[in-house]
Amino acid sequence: MATTDAPAVLVEGLHKRYGEKRAVDGLDLRVEHGEIVAVLGPNGAGKTTTVETLEGFRRADAGHVRVLGADPARAGRAWRSRIGVVLQDNHDLAEATVREIVHHMAGFYPAPRDPEQVIDAVGLREKATTRTRALSGGQRRRLDVALGVVGDPELLFLDEPTTGFDPQARHEFWDLVESLRDEGTTILLTTHYLEEAERLADRVVVVARGHVVAQGAPAELGGRQARRARVRWTVDGAPREEATDTPTALVAQLASRLGRPDGEVPGLQVLRPTLEDVYLGLIGEHGTADAPHEEAAR
């Protein structure tokens, strides 16, 4: 795969309106080669419009957009062969077998992966002769990924990839995505599953009201203030709570101050915020979109 010092995705001041509604309002985004970046946000926040603009399906009203060094709105077939897209809903040849449809899609690319190797990579070898309509939800999603990667893309877009998966299928899919990253594929992921973003993403970007409100590694998102631990205990049956950057020191102080012979602190709980806690705090802080205008415009 090609490498370059320029980022795989660079967005500066992206704007997009649908009538009077601002779907995207000055959004900035950067994705480096080899990263998995998860874009999070409530419905109507601007995620779908942003990603469809990066894929070349929509035109920006204003702003600078470069994907693999090109403007997606003007890029041609050669550029499109360098990206892979796994949409949330695909409608394809239900009567075609897994082998037939993967081989068929490979024919559209100048230098595709070996279709049989792709079938193996997504775990569908035993289903190679099964018709698409007979696949389970998890198997169907694996086929979607096969179609997205058979062209050997430098950049893969995954839109809500595990919606409707059971827990086992979701974890198996995560293993597949991680293997693609290990092979050098850059991945931009949109998801509503916070656990999914925490497991897969090198960086998380939170979008609200059409612009980025926070970004960073999953363990660092929101900064130090949002990541403070909360220590809870009871005194004479009454609950107490304190937020702190040093929970171990606070617990030691409590154990000494309360003076119990066994050194135990009554009702002690040390709670560290999850990515979901931080995300919900950010969304609540910045508000949600006025309406799901993205869906209405599709």
pLDDT value of position 289: 43
pLDDT score, position 81: 92
Strand ranges for 163-257 from DSSP E? 186-190, 203-208, 211-216, 229-235, 238-244
Look up residue 242 and give its two tokens: 């304190």
pLDDT digits (tens, 9 = 90+) for 156-166: 999 888 877 77
* Residue 161: per-residue pLDDT: 83
Say what the pLDDT of residue 224 is.
62
78 backbone dihedrals φ, ψ, rounded to 5°: -60, -40
Contact call for residues 82 and 68 (beta carbons, < 8 A): yes
Using one digit for the tens of pLDDT, what is the confidence trace for 6-40? Answer: 899 999 999 999 998 999 999 999 999 999 999 99
Cα separation values, 13 from 26, 95, 114, 210, 274, Å = 4, 44, 39, 11, 30
pLDDT score recorded for residue 291: 37
Cα separation, 215 vs 206, in Å, equals: 6
Report domain extents, the chain: 9-215+287-297, 228-272
Using DSSP, state whether 175 is helix, strand or coil. Answer: helix
Confidence bin at 4 (pLDDT 50/70/90)? low
- CB count in 10 Å sphere of residue 72: 22
Report pLDDT digits (tens) over 183-225. 899 999 998 888 999 999 999 999 998 999 989 998 888 666 6
Model pLDDT, residue 207: 93
Average pLDDT of 128-145? 89
pLDDT reading at 298 higher than 60: no
pLDDT tens-digit map of 219-245:
888 666 667 788 999 998 899 999 888
What CATH code would you report for 9-215+287-297? 3.40.50.300
Model confidence at 290: pLDDT above 50? no
Q: What is the pLDDT of residue 275?
A: 83
pTM equals 0.78
User: Which tens digit of pLDDT belongs to each residue from 215-225?
Assistant: 999 888 866 66
Place of tokens 């409100």: 213
DSSP lists the bridge partners of residue 21 as: 18
DSSP alpha helix (H) spans, 212-274: 223-226, 247-258
Separate counts of helices (H) and strands (E) for the chain: 11, 12
- Specify the DSSP element, H or E, that contains 78: helix 77-80
pLDDT of 43-95, one tens digit each?
888 999 999 999 999 999 999 999 999 999 999 999 999 999 987 666 667 88
| The pLDDT of residue 27 | 96
| Coil, strand or helix at 126 | helix
Given a cut of 70, whether residue 286 has pLDDT beyond it is no
Q: Do the Cβ atoms of 31 and 38 come closer than 8 Å?
A: no
